[in-house]
Amino acid sequence: MPCDSPDWAALRRDEFPVAERWAYFDHAAVSPLPRSSAALLRSWLDDQEHNGVVHWPDWEAKLRVNRANAARLIHAHPDEIAFVNSTTQGIGLVAEGFPWREGESVVTAAEEYPSNVYPWMNLASRGVSLRLVPSRGGRVWIDDLVAACDGTTRVLTISHVEFSSGFRNDLDALGDFCRARGIAFFVDAIQGLGPLEIDVTRTPIDFLAADGHKWLLGPEGAGFCYVRREWIERLRPVGVGWHSVVGSYNAPDLDFTLKPSAERWEGGSFNMPGLQGFGASVALLLSVGPKAVSQRILDRAEAVREIARSAGWTVVGSTRPEDLSGIVALEKPGVDPNAVVRHLRERGVAAACRRARLRFSPHIYNDDDDLARLREALGGS
């Protein structure tokens, strides 16, 4: 059960050894592993080293729990979840499998991460065009996305949170628009899920993908793709293999009957260690409680904004509360953010530079000491 009021200090001490060395503010890049996830990974390694396949059914059973927990995160059904080895793979499954006709179009924001651009651009040879909508004033405008859609538009795809500006797109408004216009709605959730909650029973999202290595605190190369139930049969399944069919484990004969669930996209062997670590991290976040996790990250991000402003940095984009996320993007005229990242790192503070902006992305275990270290190190930048 999620805690009513989590003990953040205990969580930091017990689960985040990274904090012994770093004031770590780079979860929008790659997160450190919680202690319990690393321990599970080690036990998998040990088991694989000493027992090979013998205990494989136990690890497979854990995957079932992990699938259910991934579904719980977004209020989906486990049958709507396919494990993937990157957000990019999840986007590709939908882009390649969508029932396109020549002359149709996809709309997205120009500031999207390339993973949500190239898979759609790659459809040009099938006669499908991509419309990139420029941002204005460091943010994406719904009206601009809407204006880019016309009768040819079949998919609108957007990141919940833009990776370099931290701007939070309004999924409810975009989803409602898409639903009303018969446009399928894809969400790249890797920068949103964790700092922000998603409920697919409330928000009309058709497809969503997120790897676990950022805000979900998992290892790289293990995540999930959500396909709303009514789309499972409508997409052409790509990457089909032995695991895609109903008799995947013990059919004596070939029987090409695809699973009725999103598992049909899991054609071959799993990234077993990655998915075990992913599952342990998701379980940790669920035990804290998605609401508490979100509030804590947003609170930490606000504290970082305040520190940055007092050090003379300008926060990029909108500062309306409903547009904010776990990402804080900053600019300062005449200052090279890459040099600042190096300066901070020498002082034990981990941050990033993306698209010429200084980027901070705190998580639940960042405490006031981390913030004080940041204040001191940034003050001198």
Ligand X SMILES: Cc1ncc(COP(=O)(O)O)c(C=O)c1O
Taking the C-alpha atoms of residue 77 and residue 55, their distance in angstroms, rounded to an integer, is 27
Smallest gap, in angstroms, from Cβ of residue 213 to ligand X?
Answer: 7
Smallest gap, in angstroms, from Cβ of residue 101 to ligand X?
Answer: 27
- Contact between 189 and ligand X by CB under 6 A: the answer reads no
Both tokens of 367, joined, read 């405490």
Figure out which of the listed residues 86, 281, 325, 366 binds ligand X, where binding follows CB under 6 A.
Answer: 86
Alpha helices by DSSP H, listed for 109-197, are: 118-121, 142-148, 171-181
| Nearest alpha-carbon partner for 339 in 351, 326, 325 | 351
Radius of gyration of the chain (CA): 21
Contact string 266-305 vs ligand X (x = CB under 6 A): ----------------------------------------
- Contact between 165 and ligand X by CB under 6 A: the answer reads no
Q: Near ligand X by CB under 6 A, which window of 3-11, 117-125, 186-194, 263-271?
A: 186-194
- Contact between 207 and ligand X by CB under 6 A: the answer reads no
SS3 243: helix
Smallest gap, in angstroms, from Cβ of residue 27 to ligand X?
Answer: 11
Q: Which residues pair with 105 in a beta bridge?
A: 129, 153
Q: Near ligand X by CB under 6 A, which window of 97-105, 125-133, 136-144, 185-193?
A: 185-193
Residue nearer to ligand X on the CB measure, 87 or 105 = 87
| Binding footprint of ligand X, residue count (CB under 6 A) | 12
Q: Which residues pair with 247 in a beta bridge?
A: none
Both tokens of 220, joined, read 């790289």
Smallest gap, in angstroms, from Cβ of residue 151 to ligand X?
Answer: 29
Residues in the chain: 381
Both tokens of 100, joined, read 């396109």
Residue nearer to ligand X on the CB measure, 193 or 371 = 193
Taking the C-alpha atoms of residue 278 and residue 70, their distance in angstroms, rounded to an integer, is 9
Smallest gap, in angstroms, from Cβ of residue 116 to ligand X?
Answer: 6
- Contact between 135 and ligand X by CB under 6 A: the answer reads no
CA distances from 26 to 3, 284, 326, 344 (A): 25, 19, 10, 12
Smallest gap, in angstroms, from Cβ of residue 113 to ligand X?
Answer: 3
Using CB under 6 A as the binding rule, the residues of this chain from 208 to 237 that contact ligand X are: 211
- Contact between 100 and ligand X by CB under 6 A: the answer reads no
Non-local (6+) Cβ contacts of 207 within 8 A are 90, 94, 184, 185, 186, 187, 225, 226, 227, 228, 231
Q: Near ligand X by CB under 6 A, which window of 83-91, 313-321, 327-335, 356-364?
A: 83-91
Taking the C-alpha atoms of residue 187 and residue 206, their distance in angstroms, rounded to an integer, is 8
Figure out which of the listed residues 159, 169, 244, 261 binds ligand X, where binding follows CB under 6 A.
Answer: 159
- Contact between 206 and ligand X by CB under 6 A: the answer reads no
Smallest gap, in angstroms, from Cβ of residue 157 to ligand X?
Answer: 11
Residue nearer to ligand X on the CB measure, 187 or 288 = 187
Q: What is the amino acid identity at position 214? A: K
CA distances from 57 to 53, 54, 131, 177 (A): 8, 8, 46, 44
Taking the C-alpha atoms of residue 72 and residue 85, their distance in angstroms, rounded to an integer, is 19
Alpha helices by DSSP H, listed for the chain, are: 8-15, 35-51, 56-74, 87-97, 118-121, 142-148, 171-181, 229-232, 272-288, 290-310, 337-346, 368-379
The structure tokens 């499908």 sit at: 128
| Nearest alpha-carbon partner for 373 in 353, 352, 348, 341 | 348
Residue nearer to ligand X on the CB measure, 96 or 376 = 96
Using CB under 6 A as the binding rule, the residues of this chain from 111 to 130 that contact ligand X are: 113, 115-116
- Contact between 177 and ligand X by CB under 6 A: the answer reads no
Figure out which of the listed residues 98, 120, 163, 177 binds ligand X, where binding follows CB under 6 A.
Answer: 163
Figure out which of the listed residues 88, 244, 261, 276 binds ligand X, where binding follows CB under 6 A.
Answer: 88
Residue nearer to ligand X on the CB measure, 226 or 381 = 226
Residue nearer to ligand X on the CB measure, 218 or 371 = 218
Smallest gap, in angstroms, from Cβ of residue 192 to ligand X?
Answer: 9
Smallest gap, in angstroms, from Cβ of residue 190 to ligand X?
Answer: 5
What residues line the site for ligand X (CB under 6 A)? 86-88, 113, 115-116, 159, 163, 188, 190-191, 211
